[in-house]
Amino acid sequence: MISRREFLQAGLATSAILSGLGTSNWSRVMAQQSLAQDQLLQFDDFGNLTLIHITDAHAHLKPIWFREPDTNIGIGEAAGRVPHVVGEAFQQMFGIAPGSPEAYALTWPDFASLAQSYGRMGGFDRIATVVKAIRAARPDALLLDGGDTWHGSYTSLQTQGEDMVRVQNLLGVDAMTSHWEFTFGTERVQELIEMCRFPFLGANIYDSEWDEPAFEPYQIFETGGLSVGVIGQAFPYLPIANPSWMFPEYSFGIREQRMQQVVDELRGKNVDLVVCLSHNGFDVDHKMAGRVKGIDVILSGHTHDAVPEPVLVGDTIIVASGSHGKFVSRVDLDIRDGRMMGFRHKLIPIFSDVITPDAEMAGLIDEIRAPYQADLEEVVGQTDQLLYRRGNFNGTWDDVICDAILSERDAEIAMSPGVRWGASVLPGDITREDIHSVTSMTYGQVYRNEMTGEMLKTVMEDVADNIFNADPYYQQGGDMVRVGGLAYTIDPNAAMGDRISDMRLLKDDAPIEPSRSYVVAGWASVNEGTEGPQIWDVVENHIRGTGTLTTRDAASPITIKGI
């Protein structure tokens, strides 16, 4: 199958290509000039099949800033392995030079400074250039989209996902799976699927009433003389993490036995390769790869992890391609006699100032954005700090959102969901588009109610168990709920019910009393009928009233133990 030597050679080849783009700290100002499109796309064709993977774009059509996480805690067997390695430790693990393009793209240290040198990343017009270049060399390449594509921006909310389907169709996507797509509601999802020129796959999506498969589980592609079976695996915990009342017709789940059944069915059809196009999240995929037999490749999505080398679990390789359009993965495979004999992989960083935009895709994006251009570009305030979200706990963008909720809704405690999507903002102007990048959704009402201290701890413990359960099959997505007005201590390795302690109100440093009621405001409630202003309006009003967001000098109110 795949030898350890072949696996390492593929990874080392990738690292050599990327590390060769490095630059020392004193010459960062010249860094952008050292990059070239040909270098980014350089790849020695290998084998007889190419897969192209994109995932978790969250409807970001244009190039963005996106800082990778500074905290990504692995629990149990996942501790100390990718993707739960960040910052300098990640750089050391993969031999990445500090200050290099790869360090900027894949890690968080010195992000704001490096961003000034290396520029924005992503943009579907640049992605289109990369895809066309790969297909010029490998015309039979399959382009597979891991989902979370239709949701997450101003234009996707205004068009109810149609903007992204148009982009996918032009890009030439061959198949996709899903997650946030379903938050547009069943009727709209069906309308968008009818617009798609490619299959919308979900082997684990069942009809709630009849308990039978509701979507195409897989597609068999005859390409390059090979038969390739691609299985779609939608996000398993949609009815828990998102409002089930928006899609009551469907049930989800990991459905491990169903996955094995579908793999066996494809093997019975004598396919040459089985690919799982997954939105499980990396740790769930890692566990599933060790339990479901016969999957050759898992293209992993949901947890936004960018890993420069595939991870090998038995005979299965797991490929993680990041998020927000920052990367495109290319995987070349040598398939012979129905077996994967070897592979070569590259995680291609989409440096937007280096890669020439594809004119046709750029024209479509301009057409999509034109009716909303004035709203998108309107400046609503400034920031003197980097605004970012990604990480297990509060980021600076989350602090701004929580501050806005506290002030605009007159609450003692603010709660904001630990979603991973949303672009970063460098010091300078904040536009309406920036705000929608971190708030845009179909259930963004900001509620205000009372909650006892006992209930507050129960909620915090429940979320912590979703994130830090040692069994990946019980991790239900996202990062820790973001809080404002509240300090607490967390021990991720503790047992359920014992992770959260020392909860205190920030305004007077008073301990949270179990029997006392507190005014709590938040957004993204999964409950039907939630009332309140939209979160993007609340945040915009707050920023306009503040003028310039300034850096906090106080230490973080969140204390992490046991790590």
Q: Which fold has domain 378-560?
A: 5'-nucleotidase;  domain 2 (3.90.780)
Nearest to 18 by CA among 34, 3, 5: 34
Element (H, E) at 252: none
Nearest to 472 by CA among 263, 313, 343: 313
Q: How far is CA 525 from the centre of its chain?
A: 20
Torsion of CA 357, 361, 362, 365, to 10 degrees: -140
Nearest to 490 by CA among 482, 481, 499: 499
Residues constituting the chain: 563
Residue 184 to residues 102, 152, 153, 179, 462, Cα–Cα distance (Å) = 36, 11, 13, 11, 26
Q: For residue 349, is the peptide bond before it cis, meaning its omega torsion is within 30 degrees of 0?
A: no
DSSP SS3 for 525:
coil
Q: Which fold has domain 4-367?
A: Purple Acid Phosphatase; chain A, domain 2 (3.60.21)
pLDDT one digit per residue (tens) for the chain, 563 residues: 433 334 333 433 343 334 333 333 333 334 555 689 999 999 999 999 999 999 999 999 999 999 999 999 999 999 999 999 999 999 999 999 999 999 999 999 999 999 999 999 999 999 999 999 999 999 999 999 999 999 999 999 999 999 999 999 999 999 999 999 999 999 999 999 999 999 999 999 999 999 999 999 999 999 999 999 999 999 999 999 999 999 999 999 999 999 999 999 999 999 999 999 999 999 999 999 999 999 999 999 999 999 999 999 999 999 999 999 999 999 999 999 989 999 999 999 999 999 999 999 999 999 999 999 999 999 999 999 999 999 999 999 999 999 999 999 999 999 999 999 999 999 999 999 999 999 999 999 999 999 999 999 999 999 999 999 999 999 887 899 999 999 999 999 999 999 999 999 999 999 999 999 999 999 999 999 999 999 999 999 999 999 999 987 667 899 999 87
> pTM for this one?
0.94
Q: What's phi and psi for 273, nearest 5 deg?
A: -150, 140
Q: How far is CA 546 from the centre of its chain?
A: 30
- Sign for the pseudo-dihedral over CA of 124, 126, 128, 134: negative
Q: Kindly report, as residue ranges, where domains of CATH 3.90.780.10 are found in the chain.
A: 378-560
Contact 310, 318 (CB under 8 A): yes
Nearest-Å Rg of the Cα atoms of the chain is 23
The two tokens of residue 340 are 């994967």
What is the spatial distance between Cα 322 and Cα 306, in angstroms, rounded to a whole number? Answer: 4
Q: Kindly report, as residue ranges, where domains of CATH 3.60.21.10 are found in the chain.
A: 4-367
The residue behind tokens 């204390």 is 559
